[in-house]
């Protein structure tokens, strides 16, 4: 049975555009809703595995939809489609329960992969092992090279354990793992491979994922970078999860970002990883050189 993805947008043209991008993944069954009220009605009538929603719509908009889903459909991940001008609402929606976001300018490159990963985690969460209920503490240590494909494997291992232990609710687990995924990606790309945000954005604009992969491969062959590793320690308890991710790069000026509001990061997808990390966990802290970040998710 194919995962069912509900696309919510008041524009028929935009709905079809997003549906076409998702239909490139033949594993999806894409449905459509015209606003938040229509989406909730459809969710009450049939199974929906993930929601992709616009932010600003007549009637019930994206923020209100996220808030209602957190109450009644917390197991269903929500991906926001963000645009310049709706930064305030997007930041609030992430804080209130959305699982991730993709700038509208990057839908072609990011949307299908983002949705696929969230759907896989949600399905894993529903199939958790009963033996995990007996586990009180679990600690993982990983060393990760430059292969970005390994990030999903590592994060899925942690997510399965969180699910088995029933740490938080399904939405908590999915959001924490999304933040973790971004932290590891930042450690590899910006820390160990020293690829700047502007350089990465330029590669993405010029040739999409293919150009980004070529850039990663070129950096991975440099003698001073090729042996670097990102190190992850994941500490899981019944009432909290803590992740520490350390790279072997030179760090960055974390203090210069400390005064930024979440809204500052939404423009054209700027610092998307930091935005998600700040939005989806309860606490985030960098070491003095900012080449190690610790994320904490607390479950009351």
Going by CATH, does the domain composed of 4-123 fall within 3.40.50.2300?
A: yes
Report the alpha-carbon distance of residue 159 to residue 162 in Å, rounded: 5
Instruction: Flag whether pLDDT at 120 surpasses 70.
Output: yes
Q: What average pLDDT does the structure give for the chain?
A: 89
Tokens of 127: 């199939």
Give the predicted TM-score (pTM) of the model. Answer: 0.76
Burial class (CB in 10 A: 0-12, 13-18, 19+), 235: middle
Instruction: Flag whether pLDDT at 269 surpasses 70.
Output: no
Architecture of domain 133-298: 2-Layer Sandwich (3.30)
State pLDDT tens for residues 128-184.
Answer: 656 677 888 999 999 999 999 999 999 999 999 999 898 988 889 999 999 999 999
At 268, the pLDDT band (50, 70, 90 cuts) reads very low
Question: pLDDT at position 230, please?
Answer: 97
Dihedral angle, C-alpha 56, 58, 63, 64, nearest 10 ° = 180
Find the mean pLDDT for residues 279-290: 90
Question: pLDDT at position 83, please?
Answer: 86
> Domain ranges in the chain?
4-123, 133-298
Question: pLDDT at position 98, please?
Answer: 94
Contact of 69 with 90, CB cutoff 8 Å:
no
Specify which residues 31 forms β-bridges with.
6
The runs of H, that is alpha helices, within 129-246 are 149-165, 170-186, 197-220
Q: Which residue has the tokens 């930042």?
A: 186
Dihedral angle, C-alpha 25, 45, 67, 128, nearest 10 ° = -60
Instruction: Flag whether pLDDT at 22 surpasses 50.
Output: yes
Instruction: Flag whether pLDDT at 80 surpasses 90.
Output: yes
Tokens of 180: 């973790």
| Residue of 17, 19, 51 whose CA lies nearest to 35 | 51
The sheet with strand 137-144 has its strands ordered as 137-144, 230-237, 240-246, 292-298, 283-286
Q: Which residue has the tokens 């399905």?
A: 123
At 201, the pLDDT band (50, 70, 90 cuts) reads confident
Question: pLDDT at position 119, please?
Answer: 93
| Residue of 229, 209, 37 whose CA lies nearest to 114 | 209
């Amino acid at each position: 049975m194919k995962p069912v993805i509900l696309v919510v947008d008041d524009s028929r043209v935009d709905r079809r555009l997003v549906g076409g991008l998702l239909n490139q993944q033949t594993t999806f069954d894409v449905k459509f809703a015209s606003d938040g009220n229509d989406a909730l009605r459809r969710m009450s009538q049939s199974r929906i595995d993930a929601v992709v929603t616009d932010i600003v719509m007549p009637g019930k908009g994206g923020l209100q939809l996220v808030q209602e889903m957190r109450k009644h459909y917390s197991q269903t991940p929500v991906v926001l489609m963000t645009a310049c001008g709706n930064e305030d609402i997007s930041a609030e929606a992430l804080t209130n329960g959305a699982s991730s976001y993709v700038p509208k300018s990057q839908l072609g490159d990011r949307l299908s992969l983002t949705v696929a990963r969230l759907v896989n985690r949600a399905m894993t969460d529903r199939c958790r092992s009963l033996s995990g209920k007996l586990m009180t503490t679990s600690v993982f240590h990983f060393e990760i090279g430059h292969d970005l494909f390994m990030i999903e494997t590592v994060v899925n291992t942690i997510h399965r354990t969180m699910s088995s232990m029933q740490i938080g609710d399904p939405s908590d687990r999915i959001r924490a793992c999304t933040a973790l995924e971004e932290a590891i990606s930042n450690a590899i790309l910006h820390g160990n491979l020293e690829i700047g945000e502007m350089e990465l954005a330029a590669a993405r604009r010029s040739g999409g994922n293919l150009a980004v992969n070529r850039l990663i491969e070129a950096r991975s062959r440099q003698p001073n970078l090729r042996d670097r590793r990102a190190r992850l320690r994941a500490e899981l308890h019944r009432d909290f999860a803590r992740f520490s991710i350390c790279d072997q790069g030179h760090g960055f000026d974390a203090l210069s970002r400390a005064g930024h509001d979440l809204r500052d990061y939404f423009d054209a997808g700027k610092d998307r990883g930091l935005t998600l990390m700040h939005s989806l966990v309860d606490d985030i802290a960098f070491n003095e050189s900012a080449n190690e970040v610790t994320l904490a998710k607390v479950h009351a």
